[in-house]
Structure formats: C-alpha cells, structure tokens
Amino acid sequence: MAQESPDNRKKQYSQMRSILDYGMGGIILLFGFFFLFSEKLGFNFDLEPIFKYFFAFLCIIYGGWRIYRGYQKNYYSE
C-alpha cells in the first residue's frame, strides 16, 4: 500500500473543501434568492417583510462568501 505524500494530502483536502464550499454556497445563495423573490413565485410566509428580506440578504452574503472561500482555497494558515 503506497503512502501519500503530505503535499498530496493537503491538495486533496483543499480540493474536497473547495467543492464543499462551492456546493453549500450555491445552495445557501439559492435559498436567499428564493426568500427574496418568494412573493413573485407564489409563496407567502407569515413573516414581517423586513425579517424576510434581512434573512434573504444574509443568505446571499453568506452564500457568496462560501463560494469566494472555495475559489480562494486558503484553508491552511502557514
């Protein structure tokens, strides 16, 4: 059984985390856009509009940050 080099392990881990960040960021971003345009899509929630829009923008910002973190691939602080 061949041993993997530490650099190869870091590269594989970085790639796995990047894919995870892209996926989760995309899902969270879609939730943000869903809540932002929910009335136009025909969904009505029993929330005050300010809370719904605040949650939507929070999801959009966090989803965008997760996608950026996946693009940046800076998981090791050396």
| Pair 28, 62: CB distance under 8 Å | yes
**pLDDT score, position 22:** 95
Residue 60 counted as domain residue:
yes
Query: Residues 6 or more apart from 13 whose CB is under 8 A from it?
Result: 75
- Please tell me which residue, 18 or 3, carries the higher pLDDT value: 18
Could you tell me the pTM of the whole model?
A: 0.80
Residue 3 counted as domain residue:
no
pLDDT in tens, 18-44: 999 999 999 999 999 999 999 899 988
Instruction: Answer yes or no: is pLDDT of 9 > 60.
Output: yes
What residues make up the domain containing 67?
A: 29-78
Number of domains in the chain: 1
Residue 69 counted as domain residue:
yes
